[in-house]
Chains A and B, each alone.
Chain A
């Protein structure tokens, strides 16, 4: 019965997915260009008929290939080929990581399936009499028919992103909407417009939009399309439409009320999901703290190391016979210092943002669970009301019917999205830590080379010196 809504989606051939069942990997999401987009607002569900599509072998392709979470780096995407590289790289630093090359090979066998490319760049400061704010340039390139043009350039501010997220959550309460970067960084940051802060935010916003673009359902959301394409005034006027503040507040009140009633019978799979989310949230938060701490300790180490090399140079000034050795040691230390700097940069580009994103994701997951529970609670309360014969039984039965549909859709949507999310999470985490390990290996290799070269220069002495008196 939940398939009534789903049929709308199945019309959007090529976008549908199999319903995620427990333990099963979802089929890949083939996307052929030029097909009409799926639904606008309303309940776009991940449920639908499985589509064989052009990638009949899609089941063999690991979902990660087509989970096109872009790297954060500057992506001047002007040709599909360039973006092909981006699609296949798991991290900005490692376009040639073995895994990405495997995927690249596989991908070349497939037709180009991605048809929406988004970049976020060029932060600009705007000053008005009331406030100062930053806008980001958003460039969209697409071959989709439902877009009026193939290229769009707009400017958006953080508030606009918040609006978009809100709309997506409204439309798809049990889908896992990607996280936005925080409003403020709690510790340390005083200035809102610090360069590092802006850059970090820009990268996160870029990731946010691309995650939406890669999501089989969200990518066709109408508000998303407007966000990407509308001019500033068009967006403002569109924002003003839609359920007003009061109705939104009403929703919130209902939500709180029903959540307070508690979930009587959460299905087993969602109990498991919930327990996973709780543990995951705990662990990812710890990992985030540990990773930040490592960065800090490395920074402190780097600061001390900077002083260490020069001391040897100072010493060499008073030792005629040890000048070369001392200067050699100083030079090695300085080189290792630079290598540390590089490694730290790598850490903050690859590991830290990913871990942090998943910290935010864990909060989102809890929200999604709550909303699912709330939807179920609505049904439960009506069922309860029916049993107490409080109101007109026929009306109630009809309402219950509708709510049962709603619950089933919500559950299915969540289940499918959950599997997809888990798969992405595994890939992202795996790739982030692999990159970190690679950075560390590279760091030690650099230092090793430095010291080995110094050592060989010291031990290949001319004959006179080796016959020196050994005390």
Chain B
């Protein structure tokens, strides 16, 4: 089980099934949850056949655990998002129930998409924990927790503090943060309007179904018109029921947009990491500068800065030269340490910037490609809907004209 497995073979991952399960949770209470079957196939280069190598069941919370781990260990990577935990931007037909089969199905697709994104990422795909996620059913949770990643995670508070106080963040990251805020806002807006439009469209189609019923009843009393009415009514029913598939397709489109909505959070996470690192760097530099100054003051005897030592000296009398020497020595050590620290932090920072920006460029290309494809697929859906409409109404018109 080496991490380099993936670079040798091609891997196909699918989340092929979803199953309702009951079990006992951490508080020993009975709960119902959905488990998803993950199948991994390795494609042998020689003959192109795929062999099922692993298959196990995971629930949503385990996916979350995996992602949180990746976020901590790869802060410079825009980590792919998970599908939404609860159904949002629903229009009236979709229930917000997590157990609703349509929701479960869409989530299954979303989870599969997540795994595919991770496995096709040049860096993330090599991760051992990810590999184990796909291959080691039992004990995986313990393995992840043993990495102690939760402890390594930056505290939210610390991050928030850094965001406010950082003085010189890289401009590209500031711009990126603004962009991700804008993108989040605009996609949310679009999804909301789309949901409302879908709702209204549903209404239009469904009301036509009433024609079917009434035409049928009316045809009973009509001699000449009867047949035409009856068959026209049938087409009205067809029209009314066609909206279900149309909107189901649109839901997939909405999911594609949602993925990028959630991606904005991943983008912001990378920006936050940069701000945190930058802030630490600035604090370290500040600290070093103040120590150097203290040292200088002690050496030259001038007091330019306020210090506790200076105060007490004033109050309780000058310290002895030996004491001063000792203090200078300590400071010099600290300064040297500080300089080392600063150097490594600087290096870290530059490494981070380089790697993060590379991934961001990769992400941008992916985003442009995917969104364009999504918009085009939306056009394709509209075309299909129009063609269906033309068909139905042409049929209906024929029936009407035969009345």
CB distance from A240 to the nearest CB of B (A): 44
Question: In the complex, are the beta carbons of B189 and A445 less than 8 A apart?
Answer: no
Interface pair A294/B204, CB less than 8 Å apart? yes
Contact of A329 with B211 at beta-carbon distance under 8 Å, contacts A294-B204, A300-B203, A444-B393 already known: no
In the bound assembly, the distance between CA atoms of A458 and B376 in angstroms comes to 8
Residues of B within 8 A of A418 (CB): none
A301 touches B200 (CB 8 A): yes
Whether B207 contacts A290 by the Cβ 8 Å rule is yes
Whether, in the assembled complex, B123 has its beta carbon less than 8 Å from a beta carbon of chain A, the answer is no
- Which residues from B are CB-within-8-Å of A312? 190
Pairwise interchain contact A471-B207, C-beta atoms closer than 8 A = no
Interface code A98-115, partner B: CB below 8 Å = 1, 0 otherwise? 110000000000000000
Q: Is the CB of B393 within 8 A of A471?
A: no
- Chain B residues with CB under 8 A of A305: 197
Set B204, B218, B375: member contacting A298, Cβ < 8 A: B204
Asked if B98 CB lies within 8 Å of chain A CBs, one says no
Does B380 touch A at the CB level, under 8 Å?
Answer: yes
Give bound CA distance, A437 to B401, whole Å.
Answer: 10
Contact status A283-B218, CB under 8 Å:
yes
CB pair B190–A315 under 8 Å, yes or no, is yes
The answer to whether B394 has its CB under 8 Å from any CB of chain A is yes
**In the complex, are the beta carbons of B397 and A325 less than 8 A apart?**
no
Is the Cβ of A290 less than 8 Å from the Cβ of B214? Answer: yes
Q: How far is the CA of A25 from the CA of B382 in the complex (A)?
A: 47
| Given A290-B214, A444-B390: A311 touches B204 (CB 8 Å cut-off) | no
Cβ–Cβ contact B389 & A452, under 8 A? no
- Of B293-301, B323-331, B361-369, the one with at least 4 CB within 8 A of chain A: B361-369
Residues in B with CB closer than 8 Å to A99 are 401
Per DSSP, are chain A's interface residues mostly helix, strand or loop, or mixed?
helix
Tell whether A459 is near chain B: CB-to-CB under 8 Å: yes
Nearest-CB residue, chain B, relative to A307: B193
Are A430 and B403 in contact (CB-based, < 8 A)? yes
Residue pair A318, B182 in contact (C-beta under 8 Å): yes
- The reply to whether A311 and B386 form a contact with Cβ atoms under 8 Å apart is no
Q: How far is the CA of A98 from the CA of B193 in the complex (A)?
A: 41
Tell yes or no: B106 within 8 A of A by CB.
no
Any chain A CB within 8 A of the CB of B288? no
A322: which B residues are within 8 A, CB to CB?
Answer: 368, 371-372, 375
B149 interface residue per 8 A CB criterion: no
Q: Which of A293-349 contact B (CB under 8 A)?
A: 293-294, 297-298, 300-301, 303-305, 307-308, 311-312, 314-315, 318-319, 321-322, 325-326, 329, 332, 336
Please determine whether A434 and B387 come into contact, CB atoms closer than 8 angstroms.
no
- A441 at the binding interface (Cβ < 8 Å): yes
Complex: A459 Cα to B372 Cα, angstroms: 11
Chain B residue with the shortest CB-CB distance to A280:
B221
When distances are taken between beta carbons in the complex, the residues of chain B under 8 Å from A318 are 179, 182-183, 186
| B315 nearest CB across to chain A (Å) | 60
Question: Does the CB pair A471–B366 fall under 8 Å?
Answer: yes
Which among A99, A300, A444, A458 has the highest number of chain B CB atoms within 10 Å? Answer: A444
A297 to B201, CA, bound (A): 8
- Closest Cβ of chain A to B224, distance in Å, is 6
Q: Is A433 an interface residue (CB 8 A)?
A: yes
Interface residues contributed by chain B, number (CB under 8 Å) = 56
Q: Say whether A286 contacts B204, CB under 8 Å.
A: no
Indicate if A448 sits at the interface (CB-CB under 8 A).
yes
Looking across the interface, which residue of chain B has its beta carbon closest to that of A324? B372
Chain A 415-427 interface mask (CB, 8 Å, partner B; 1/0): 0000000000010
A300–B200 touching, CB < 8 Å: yes
Q: For B19, what are the chain A residues with a Cβ–Cβ distance below 8 Å?
A: none
Would you call A469 and B369 a contact (CB within 8 A)?
Answer: yes
Chain B contacts of A459 at CB under 8 A?
376
Chain B residues with CB under 8 Å of A452's CB are 383
Which residues of B have CB within 8 Å of A300?
A: 200, 203
Bound state CA distance, A286 and B371, in angstroms? 45
Task: Check: A162 CB closer than 8 A to any chain B CB.
Answer: no
A434 touches B397 (CB 8 A): yes
Task: Tell whether A304 pairs with B221 under 8 Å between CB atoms, given A287-B211, A329-B379, A459-B376.
Answer: no
B380 touches which one: A308, A311, A426, A455 (CB < 8 A)?
A455
B204, B228, B369: most-surrounded residue (chain A CB, <10 A): B204
Q: Is the CB of B120 within 8 A of A471?
A: yes
CA distance A248 to B229 in the complex (A): 43
State the Cβ distance, A300 to closest chain B Cβ, in Å.
5
A325 CA / B228 CA spacing, docked (Å): 44
Contact mask for chain A residues 436-471; partner B; CB cutoff 8 A; 1 contact, 0 none:
011011011101100110110011000000001111
Given A329-B379, A471-B369, also A301-B203 (CB < 8 A): yes
Chain A residue at minimal CB-CB distance from B392: A440
Contact of A441 among B196, B382, B394 (CB under 8 A): B394
The distance in angstroms between the C-alpha atoms of A447 and B201, with both chains bound, is 15
Query: Is B6 at the interface (CB under 8 A from chain A)?
Result: no
**Which residue of chain A is the closest to B220 with respect to CB atoms?**
A279
- What are 29 A-to-B residue pairs whose CB atoms are below 8 Å? A98-B401, A287-B218, A297-B203, A298-B204, A301-B197, A301-B203, A308-B197, A311-B190, A315-B186, A315-B190, A318-B182, A318-B183, A318-B186, A319-B371, A321-B368, A329-B375, A426-B224, A430-B401, A441-B393, A443-B389, A444-B393, A448-B383, A451-B379, A451-B382, A455-B379, A458-B375, A458-B376, A469-B365, A470-B369
**B residues adjacent to A (C-beta < 8 A):** 120, 179, 182-183, 186-187, 189-190, 193-194, 196-197, 199-201, 203-204, 207-208, 210-211, 214, 217-218, 220-222, 224-225, 228, 232, 365-366, 368-372, 375-376, 378-380, 382-383, 386-387, 389-390, 393-394, 396-397, 400-401, 403
In the A-B complex, the 4 residue pairs with the closest CB atoms: A437-B397, A301-B200, A444-B389, A448-B386
